[in-house]
Structure 1
Amino acid sequence: MAQIPLPHESSALNDAYGHLSAETVLQLAITELFAQEIALVSSFGAESAVLLHMASRLDPAIPVVFIDTGRLFPETLQYRNKLIDRLGLKDVRSVGPDTDTMEAADPYGALFSMDPDRCCHLRKVEPLAKALLPFSAWITGRKRFQAATREVLPVFEADSTHIKISPLAKWGAGELVAYLRAHDLPRHPLVAQGYPSIGCAPCTSPVAEGEDARAGRWRGQAKTECGIHLTPTHVTKRSA
């Protein structure tokens, strides 16, 4: 039987399940649609505790992929360890760039300022691609409210190799805060310092009131995405 092209599969999944609650989408994805073939990719960032908590209640042994780029805030690494213990996560896989590759490509640690797309590709995109090889689908924590480039984010979508699922796509900031409070989940310590979106330390700055949640990522550049989340032809970028 011919395999259904991934874009057609994701479209059918959206039609069938895209209207359901985040919890129901997550349960279907983990226990039925992609059982034993799915991973959750988490940055252990500002809002990550919500999705990780939901997943841990369904299956604390779900594979969770964390990309340690080597340039993260120390607070993020501490928060990762805290959530692992708090939620009882049993299979968190920290992956990162190849040491020899980075020594050759970024010997002075300045690639982020000279060629941020390449820096992200080497530190995030390539390690994640390798980590996802055993899986046919992966779960992301993206939401439509985070940036103009995500306003039409579907719950199910396809990249070149996997089905990608964003159970929280329709959630707003208020719903996230309410969930965190209802379940007494700890916040990333940098949130209180004005960081609603947290990536690598050299490329993340605080956000002013009224700005996009992701305005502090690659501030002053056209870039808005690290490259993990691609359109069919290019990395999503901010308009000039």
Structure 2
Amino acid sequence: MNAVTTAVERPLGLPLDVFALDAALRRSEPEKIIEIALALFPGRIAAVSSFGTESVVLLHMIAQVSKAAPILFLDTGHLFPETLAYRDQLTDLLGLTQVLTIPPDPEALAARDPEAGLWSEDPDACCAVRKVEPLARALAPYGAWINGRKRYQAQTRSTIPVVEGDGARVKFNPLATLGREDLIAYMDSRNLPHHPLEKHGFLSIGCMPCTSRVKPGEDPRAGRWRGRAKTECGIHLGEGI
């Protein structure tokens, strides 16, 4: 009996034993992790992508396994036009057939951010209504999800596992061990297009009002919510998503 099968047969209140599965996969290539994730949750797993500076790597890997895998994209209403164009470009280039654009709930926006200025007053509340809550609704049908976080991106991400529990779901981080050099090499060796804002110093791209250029020597995510005591939007913080 192989390690992955053993992991699946030892539940810990989740669909499988995420600790055993993480141990089994932590030295696996990202492509293999994606292949196993999709196989373990047929029809019950989605990937979440921001279509940011490094997103093409994960999306390309997923497309090699299944072009029909659901890809959830959160359109907050504050994104750069370049990001929306990059989403369309990669969707066509990679042949992805289920890129699902998820907007905020219009009634929630009308009640909590009617002037679209919540980002400056309370960025946590803005992220909640424009990202966290929409993603929670979008993930409701799924038992697992795949994302593109990497340990090298920031100190707050330096210990993320390859597989982890996320409330009632399993979360796969197949790119966790890759460095910036690995990602660039992957993109360049396959002639994959970079996000158009990367050449202007944007190494991690979120919403336009809360994203700035990264200075030499800074963490790639240093340009997110610069000057505020905030490092994550909230979709990777807490259970229940």
Query: TM (normalized to structure 1)?
Result: 0.93
CA contact (8 A) 1:7 1:157 kept: no
Please show how residues 152-171 of structure 1 align to structure 2 within 5 Å.
152-171=159-178
- The CA distance in 1 between the partners of 2:54 and 2:10, in whole Å, is 39
Number of aligned residue pairs: give it: 232
1:66 has 2:73 as partner = yes
Please show how residues 11-160 of structure 1 align to structure 2 within 5 Å.
11-30=19-38, 32-160=39-167
**Partner secondary structure for residue 17 of structure 2:** helix
Aligned partner letter, 2:187:
L
Please show how residues 152-231 of structure 1 align to structure 2 within 5 Å.
152-231=159-238
**In the TM superposition, what is the alpha-carbon distance from 1:41 to its structure 2 partner?**
0.4
- The CA distance in 2 between the partners of 1:199 and 1:209, in whole Å, is 19
Aligned partner letter, 1:214:
R
Q: Deviation string for 1:14-73 (max 9, x for gaps)?
A: 11222211111111111x222221101000000000000010111000000000000000
- The CA distance in 2 between the partners of 1:195 and 1:214, in whole Å, is 9
**In the TM superposition, what is the alpha-carbon distance from 1:6 to its structure 2 partner?**
3.2
- The CA distance in 2 between the partners of 1:130 and 1:140, in whole Å, is 16
1:4 has 2:26 as partner = no
- The CA distance in 2 between the partners of 1:45 and 1:167, in whole Å, is 17
**In the TM superposition, what is the alpha-carbon distance from 1:158 to its structure 2 partner?**
1.1
**In the TM superposition, what is the alpha-carbon distance from 1:161 to its structure 2 partner?**
2.3
Aligned partner letter, 2:89:
K
- The CA distance in 1 between the partners of 2:79 and 2:239, in whole Å, is 28
**In the TM superposition, what is the alpha-carbon distance from 1:229 to its structure 2 partner?**
0.2
- The CA distance in 2 between the partners of 1:81 and 1:49, in whole Å, is 12
Q: Deviation string for 1:123-167 (max 9, x for gaps)?
A: 001111111111100000000000000000100011112110010
- The CA distance in 2 between the partners of 1:136 and 1:168, in whole Å, is 20
Aligned to 1:236: none
Supply the RMSD in Å over aligned alpha carbons.
1.7
Query: TM (normalized to structure 2)?
Result: 0.93
**Unpaired stretches in structure 2, ≥5 consecutive residues:** 1-8
**Partner secondary structure for residue 6 of structure 1:** coil
- The CA distance in 1 between the partners of 2:130 and 2:216, in whole Å, is 30
CA contact (8 A) 2:34 2:62 kept: yes
- The CA distance in 1 between the partners of 2:83 and 2:42, in whole Å, is 29
Aligned to 1:238: none
- The CA distance in 2 between the partners of 1:228 and 1:139, in whole Å, is 13
| More divergent stretch after superposition (4-13 vs 218-227) | 4-13
CA contact (8 A) 1:39 1:137 kept: yes
- The CA distance in 2 between the partners of 1:7 and 1:210, in whole Å, is 41
**Partner secondary structure for residue 164 of structure 2:** strand
Runs of 4+ with >4 A deviation: none
- The CA distance in 1 between the partners of 2:197 and 2:163, in whole Å, is 30
CA contact (8 A) 2:10 2:17 kept: no
**Unpaired stretches in structure 1, ≥5 consecutive residues:** 234-240
